[in-house]
């Protein structure tokens, strides 16, 4: 289950950034995950919850924005969504395409509450 390793990196990054901001609590973490990233969202959420326990990220909401697979045809210069694993240009039918999205795995946004004095 590589989601555990990914969740560990996310929690470490979130805690590091929250510490820099002197946060009292992490409220929400928003991720951008491409369809080709090979990440199971439910498993990632479970691992995130497990690893965030007893930290300022405990009870933080983990929001996942799925990024579709997009490609660009180098033959006819058309950009398109890839669906049903059809990696062919819908206009010219060629396979000379470049993937432009769908492999992302990023922390897009971090919502925190500052410490109160």
CB 47 within 8 A of CB 4: yes
The overall pTM is greater than 0.75: yes
Domain that holds residue 34: 3-68+102-114
Q: What is the pLDDT of residue 56?
A: 98
CB 39 within 8 A of CB 104: no
Range 87-108 average pLDDT: 95
- Euclidean distance between CA atoms 100 and 94, whole angstroms: 16
Average pLDDT, the chain: 95
- Residue 94 belongs to a domain: no
Main-chain dihedrals φ then ψ at residue 28, nearest 5 degrees: -150, 140
- Residue 80 belongs to a domain: no
User: What's the number of domains the chain is made of?
Assistant: 1
- Euclidean distance between CA atoms 91 and 103, whole angstroms: 23
Residue 117 reports pLDDT greater than 90: no
What SS3 string covers 1-22?
CCHHHHHHHHHHHHHHHHHHCC
Residue 1 reports pLDDT greater than 80: no
Range 14-18 average pLDDT: 98
- Residue 91 belongs to a domain: no
Q: What is the CATH number of the domain that holds 62?
A: 3.30.2320.50
């Amino acid at each position: 289950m590589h989601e555990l390793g990914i969740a560990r990196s996310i929690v470490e990054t979130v805690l590091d950034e929250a510490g820099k901001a002197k946060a009292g609590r992490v409220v929400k973490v928003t991720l951008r995950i491409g369809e080709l990233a090979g990440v199971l969202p439910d498993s990632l959420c479970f691992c995130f919850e497990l690893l965030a326990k007893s930290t300022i990220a405990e009870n933080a909401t983990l929001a996942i924005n799925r990024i579709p697979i997009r490609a660009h045809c180098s033959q006819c210069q058309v950009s398109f969504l890839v669906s049903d694993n059809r990696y062919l240009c819908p206009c010219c039918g060629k396979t000379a395409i470049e993937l432009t999205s769908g492999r992302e795995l990023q922390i897009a946004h971090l919502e925190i509450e500052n410490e109160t004095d």
